[in-house]
């Protein structure tokens, strides 16, 4: 019985480390996607798109391990909360990876566009959303509810920048019809970044709930 419990905890820790790896992988993807947009780097955007298979595979691995952990041995309450949090968090991380792919696809569309909206703070909203994701994963890794709470509180900052970005896009497109195509694509980029912030907030919520009940 002791051997079974040891193996169980080893598998639980392995899954936890995979969640941390997934967070790092997705964070790198979002950063690279925005970099590809800002630098018109289509090969970098293509690498982000190709790398989504690794994100999906790691998510499936965590999910499979979690299912086996529940099935093989009845977890106690604290363990079950950890497993439940993992399942929720990898879902949010996988969706964040999808947003990185969407940004990269739009980056490729914009690569040859000479005129782009100038007043949209893509870099700033991307930096905040990515920092929220990093901090949410740090809260999970370090089991720190206070860090999670700080991430949750920052979502309004992303929402405010998103609203300002939409307004700036609308003004630029109305002032110059040549800006409509690139402005529309940038709208999709803004929306993806706002959702990255939402998913980071979700990760923080799942972490906080796991820790609050511990």
pLDDT one-digit tens code per residue, 24-34? 999 999 999 99
Predicted confidence (pLDDT) per residue in 141-182, tens digit: 999 999 999 999 999 999 999 999 999 999 999 999 988 999
Contact 35, 149 (CB under 8 A): no
pLDDT tens per residue across span 88-100: 999 999 999 999 9
Residues 33 and 104 sit within 8 Å (Cβ to Cβ): yes
Distance, first Cα to last Cα, the chain = 24
Answer for the pair 180, 127: CB distance below 8 angstroms, yes or no: no
Q: Please check whether residue 177 is in contact with residue 115, taking contact to mean a CB–CB distance below 8 angstroms.
A: no
Number of H helices, E strands in the chain: 7, 0
According to the model, what pLDDT value does residue 79 have? 83
Sign of CA dihedral 171, 176, 182, 184: positive
CB-based burial label for 84 (10 Å; 0-12, 13-18, 19+) = middle
Domains, the chain, ranges and CATH? Answer: 2-212 (1.20.58.220)
Percent of the chain whose predicted confidence (pLDDT) is above 90 = 78
Contacts of 53 by beta carbon, 8 Å cutoff, 6+ apart: none
- What's the predicted TM-score (pTM) here? 0.93
**Cα separations (Å) of 185 from 20, 104, 175, 177?**
32, 11, 17, 14
The string of pLDDT tens digits covering residues 53-86 is 999 999 999 999 999 888 877 767 778 899 999 9
Nearest to 104 by CA among 28, 41, 165, 53: 41
Q: Give whole-number Cα distances, 92 to 8, 36, 113, in Å.
A: 25, 23, 32
């Amino acid at each position: 019985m002791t051997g079974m419990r040891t193996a169980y905890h080893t598998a639980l820790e392995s899954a936890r480390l995979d969640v941390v790896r997934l967070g790092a992988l997705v964070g790198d993807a979002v950063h690279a996607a925005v970099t590809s947009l800002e630098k018109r780097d289509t090969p970098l955007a293509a690498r982000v798109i190709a790398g989504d298979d690794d994100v999906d595979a790691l998510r499936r691995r965590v999910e499979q391990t979690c299912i086996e952990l529940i099935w093989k041995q009845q977890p106690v309450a604290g363990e079950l909360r950890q497993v439940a949090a993992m399942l929720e968090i990898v879902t949010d991380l996988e969706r964040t990876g999808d947003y990185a792919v969407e940004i990269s696809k739009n980056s490729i569309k914009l690569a040859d566009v000479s005129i782009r909206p100038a007043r949209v703070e893509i870099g700033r909203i991307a930096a905040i959303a990515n920092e929220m994701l990093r901090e949410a994963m740090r809260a999970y890794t370090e089991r720190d509810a206070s860090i999670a709470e700080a991430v949750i509180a920052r979502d309004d900052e992303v929402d405010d920048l998103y609203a300002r970005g939409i307004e700036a896009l609308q003004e630029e497109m109305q002032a110059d019809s040549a800006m409509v195509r690139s402005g529309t694509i940038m709208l999709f980029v803004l929306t993806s970044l706002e959702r990255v912030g939402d998913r980071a907030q979700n990760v923080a919520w799942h972490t906080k709930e796991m820790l609050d009940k511990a």
